[in-house]
Amino acid sequence: GQNIDQPTEMTATEGAIVQINCTYQTSGFNGLFWYQQHAGEAPTFLSYNVLDGLEEKGRFSSFLSRSKGYSYLLLKELQMKDSASYLCAVRDSNYQLIWGAGTKLIIKP
């Protein structure tokens, strides 16, 4: 079966750095996505990785290792507005997205 694993919840301090991990086992691989979802709102796109390595976009970076079936999202200089759920999704060989259950990130002052 296909599976995406992420921690259920993480807590971090404002101004700090946090790394949210995602491991996957899917039928094929055609890219990995990270989305942010604030409570009661729709998911919004954060990043896309299809090749191994690090993609940096402002305070957010995403890393992919296809051989290890592993990705992480790195958030720097945390702000209170970063409190949200972070969803990892992998596009499989049929180009369908397989979604993780999401990681709820709590930021404390």
Partner 1 sequence: NAGVTQTPKFQVLKTGQSMTLQCAQDMNHEYMSWYRQDPGMGLRLIHYSVGAGITDQGEVPNGYNVSRSTTEDFPLRLLSAAPSQTSVYFCASSYGQSPSGANVLTFGAGSRLTVL
**Where does this chain bind partner 1 (CB under 8 A)?**
4, 8, 30-31, 33, 35, 40-45, 48, 87, 89, 91, 95-102
* Cβ–Cβ < 8 Å for 87, 74: no
By C-beta, is 83 or 96 nearer to partner 1? 96
By C-beta, is 13 or 93 nearer to partner 1? 93
First to last CA, the chain: 40
27-39 exposure pattern, b = at least 16 Cβ within 10 A, e = fewer: eeeeebbbbbeee
- Closest contact distance (angstroms) between CB of 103 and partner 1 is 11
By C-beta, is 20 or 91 nearer to partner 1? 91
